[in-house]
Amino acid sequence: MVSFQHKLADGLQRRGFDVGFNPTEGEYSAVLIIGGTRQVAGVWRARQRGARIIQRLDGMNWLHKVRGPASSQGFSDSPIFRLRHYLRAEYGNWLLAWTRRCLAHGIVYQSEFSRQWWERVYGPTRKPYRVIYNAVDLARYTPQGDHSRPADCWRLLLVEGSLMGGYEMGLEAAFDLGFHLSQLLNDRPEINHPVEILVAGRVSAEVQAFWEQNFQEKWAGRSGGRLSLAWAGLVPGESIPELDRSAHLLYSADINAACPNSVIEALACGLPVVAFDTGALPELVKQDAGRVVPYGGDPWRLDPPDTSALARAACELLGNLEYHRQAARLRAEAEFRLEDMVDRYLEVLVDEKSF
């Protein structure tokens, strides 16, 4: 959210528009609410003064309903802490839905999946809407530049802002994917290399130790030394392009993601993506920029995914990697240009006929 805000503000200022971040300070012609806001009174007063209010929506909180207010993977927090987390998630959904229904003049959804999700849960509204994907600076996120892509193994990259609070399950799927891929490569002598899983994101020492032990016990030992694990930690945004260029495939682990930036950034850097067909992934990963395969169960219930099918797709990509690297970049150039995104937001902010 912060990254999007900075990119959009910079783009609007380059076009000669004044940008502020407090609706009570200044006379605004338009206000963009990124998700929800606690400054409801200020936004309402801006609306009363004639400002156009646009809400940008991605998804909503849902993992707390599947898992309940208990923590996952055996890491115990106090019952009060877990209950607060549950209630906070529910309040967040309520605030987003109220803003969508009562405060905004129009809605920008980050994907078709996001729009359909909101309409399924909270019903359609009479508000005009538009789908605008996230985007990146293609001059910064590019296949050209420094990298440390290994030549003696296939590096499978997993990038998430955080891999805690219920998102640890993405690690288990990544490990399972890596194991199946390492076994499939035994039958492909022309691309038969070991597999390294590189995890980038915020992971507590407790969670990392838990999964490191599980990885060694359940996956690494069975692979015959053909599967390894490395932790990159939380990577600064300015280092993401080099990180993406230093891998062979990106595994997008977020289930039912509305429009994951990690996928768009990877495509721009020429990094093909493998993922399950949940959320907006089928919308984003097209034209041979990667492979999206059926989940193999109900993702909304967090059923175990079909990682063997995903491994077959990954093996296919590795068999013709340079072609898919080029296709990934072309996909980003066609759909995820930062300047195009800024222009589309500018249209909905200043012109009510743009929807």
- Give residue 78's pLDDT: 64
Grade residue 70 by pLDDT with cuts at 50, 70 and 90.
very low
Average pLDDT value for the chain: 92
- Give residue 85's pLDDT: 81
User: Collapsing DSSP states into helix, strand and coil, what is residue 69?
Assistant: coil
The average pLDDT across 26-41 equals 93
- Asked: is 154-335 a CATH 3.40.50.2000 domain? The reply is yes
- Give residue 3's pLDDT: 86
Per the listing, tokens 């892509």 go with 149
Sheet holding 52-57, edge to edge: 30-34, 52-57, 106-109, 129-131
CATH, range 2-135+337-354: 3.40.50
- Give residue 51's pLDDT: 95
pLDDT of 355 strictly over 90: no
Grade residue 325 by pLDDT with cuts at 50, 70 and 90.
very high
Q: Domain coordinates of the chain in residue numbers?
A: 2-135+337-354, 154-335
What digits encode the pLDDT tens for the residues 122-150? 999 999 999 999 999 999 999 999 999 99
What digits encode the pLDDT tens for the residues 298-313? 999 999 999 999 999 9
Fold agreement (2-135+337-354, 154-335): yes
Grade residue 77 by pLDDT with cuts at 50, 70 and 90.
low
pLDDT of 101 strictly over 60: yes
- Give residue 73's pLDDT: 47
Taking the CA atoms of 145, 241, 278 and 182 in sequence, report the sign of the dihedral they define: positive
pLDDT of 354 strictly over 90: no
For residues 49 and 103, give the distance between their C-alpha atoms in angstroms, rounded to a whole number: 13
Pick the more confident residue, 222 or 84. 222
- Give residue 163's pLDDT: 73
The average pLDDT across 90-112 equals 96
Pick the more confident residue, 69 or 115. 115
Nearest Cα to Cα of residue 109 among 125, 89, 130: 130
User: Collapsing DSSP states into helix, strand and coil, what is residue 46?
Assistant: helix
- Give residue 65's pLDDT: 86
For residues 160 and 162, give the distance between their C-alpha atoms in angstroms, rounded to a whole number: 5
Grade residue 165 by pLDDT with cuts at 50, 70 and 90.
low
The strand ranges marked E within the chain are: 30-34, 52-57, 106-109, 129-131, 154-162, 195-202, 227-233, 249-251, 273-276, 290-293
Phi, psi of 230 (to 5 degrees): -135, 150
For residues 271 and 265, give the distance between their C-alpha atoms in angstroms, rounded to a whole number: 9
pLDDT of 76 strictly over 60: no
- Give residue 311's pLDDT: 98
- Give residue 181's pLDDT: 98
DSSP code, position 353: G
For residues 11 and 18, give the distance between their C-alpha atoms in angstroms, rounded to a whole number: 11
Grade residue 72 by pLDDT with cuts at 50, 70 and 90.
very low
Percent of the chain with pLDDT over 70: 95
Percent of the chain with pLDDT over 90: 84
- Axis crossing angle, helix 169-184 with helix 205-215, rounded to the nearest 10: 30
